């Protein structure tokens, strides 16, 4: 079973690295795990943590290659949680040598 890592990019500057990772059956399961991470981030926002509007959860494989980038999912948070206009989340998966829109 492949191991996936979930780094959190904060405002395109700071990164919280996932050094442990988790074994999951496939990328779809990893995307579901990324949404669980977002639920925790949004819960911390409600508790007074930093604004995650420009944050991303990046799913990486065991070699450090980015497989998908998950922005703040406005369907999990209300408008105040991410301080943005509600919209359909844009899920991005790796495309070529970078992250590209699907």
Give the lowest-confidence range in 12-16, 23-27, 31-35, 36-40.
12-16
- Would you state the pLDDT for residue 88? 36
**Phi and psi, residue 4, nearest 5°:** -115, 145
Its pTM stands at 0.69
Q: Which of 72, 40, 70 is nearest to 57 (CA)?
A: 70
The torsion defined by the Cα of 19, 20, 23 and 24, in degrees rounded to 10, comes to -50
Q: pLDDT > 90: what percent of the chain?
A: 41
The torsion defined by the Cα of 24, 28, 33 and 39, in degrees rounded to 10, comes to -170
**Is the distance from CB of 35 to CB of 73 less than 8 angstroms?**
yes
């Amino acid at each position: 079973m492949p191991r996936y890592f979930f780094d959190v990019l904060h405002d395109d500057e700071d990164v919280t690295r996932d050094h442990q990772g988790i074994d999951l059956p496939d990328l779809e399961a990893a995307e579901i795990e990324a949404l669980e991470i977002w639920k925790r981030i949004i819960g911390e926002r409600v508790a007074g943590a930093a604004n995650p509007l420009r944050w991303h959860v990046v799913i990486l494989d065991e070699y450090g290659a980015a497989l998908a980038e998950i922005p703040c999912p406005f369907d999990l948070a209300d408008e105040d949680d991410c301080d943005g206009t509600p919209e359909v989340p844009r899920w991005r998966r790796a495309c070529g040598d970078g992250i590209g829109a699907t």
